[in-house]
A and B are shown apart, each in its own frame.
Chain A
């Protein structure tokens, strides 16, 4: 008759074989997540400055933004490529609502904003010089993308458009949130 198994052997005999971790469902989940993220992946060539002073309007247009000079018109300031150019003032309207406008305009031509024109002309020269230095072909396109607060009145916007047009930037695009 065989000897009784030792205690250690008994434990070993009754121990379950090590189970492999089932990761198939985890891989399924990860694959779905990966597909979602790849679909939402976006490489953008432009910068959007998040600010409390600016809320873009929504549009059903589907064109993607392109690399260009960024002109921001917020409730409090006008910025070109992140640099403060001039201040936007707010006065109270007839019904108590804020009305935005620019104080510093040209005395002869009330549509022209001299500081904005100077900065845009400077930016145009920078781009032109950079193109000449790097030997990139093609003319200066003069593309500018305007990010404006949705409550800005046309009174102010037309000054921005006029000054932009006067500063060699004739290709103007408005930026908005895309509504699907």
Chain B
């Protein structure tokens, strides 16, 4: 003999509604708390490095240059932020066949004209509006980072001068605005091809060395 159908099958017990009121109470309390602490604007920090001398003890302007004297054995690269663009200085000494390419890498990156959505130049007071080309700066710094040539005594080994160099000197001219400096710092650190920083700790300098090493130029 077949078993007696259950009460549920006979339709005596109907599935009840889930009581959502406690959940609603909880959400009603959580919502204002979270709304109070929500961050619509997010902040970030950029760690910068100063030349060693500025964190030393009492010094005067006369007896100190804020830029440490570069070691001629270590590759160094300086980006001068001028009002007309970015200029590059380095102490690398490439072989003769690369001299032309390296010289081209030191050429000034001029300001670029701002374009609108249709590709036309944006005009301000009848003149094209020009801004700093951070993209070009980043690409140029990547070129420096990836520059390599074979060693003279071991031609099978490639010498990559900036491979393990963590910092570059950034020298903004006195009239350069803070927002441009932040843009340059971003460009100096971004390395899209690799999952790491390009030059992790850029150094902001006040004076630079040009030409002969050891001679400071303000």
Contact = CB atoms under 8 A, between A and B. Distances in A.
Interface string A56-90: 11111111111000000000000000000000000
A37 B24 contact: no
Given A57-B178, A65-B44, A153-B175, 12 more contacts: A42-B37, A43-B37, A59-B182, A65-B43, A66-B45, A150-B178, A158-B174, A158-B204, A173-B46, A174-B48, A174-B182, A174-B185
Interface in B161-189: 172-179, 181-183, 185-186, 189
Contacts of A172: 47-48, 50
B31 A30 contact: yes
A176 B178 CA distance: 11
B181 A34 contact: no
A171 B176 CA distance: 23
Contact of A37 (B20, B34, B59): B34
Interface residues of B, number: 47
Interface in B82-127: none
Interface string B177-218: 111011101100110000000000000101000000000000
Nearest to A174: B46
A169 to B, nearest CB: 8
B41 interface: yes
Contacts of B21: 23
Given A152-B177, A154-B175, A155-B174, A178 B43 contact: yes
B46 A151 contact: no
Interface of A: 20, 23-24, 26-27, 30-31, 33-34, 37-38, 40-44, 46, 48, 56-66, 99, 108-112, 145, 148-155, 157-158, 161-162, 165-166, 170-178, 180
A31 B20 CA distance: 12
A153 B177 contact: yes
A57 to B, nearest CB: 4
Given A153-B177, A158-B206, A37 B46 contact: no
Contacts of A27: 20, 23-24, 27
Interface in B1-52: 17, 20-21, 23-24, 27, 30-31, 34-35, 37-48, 50
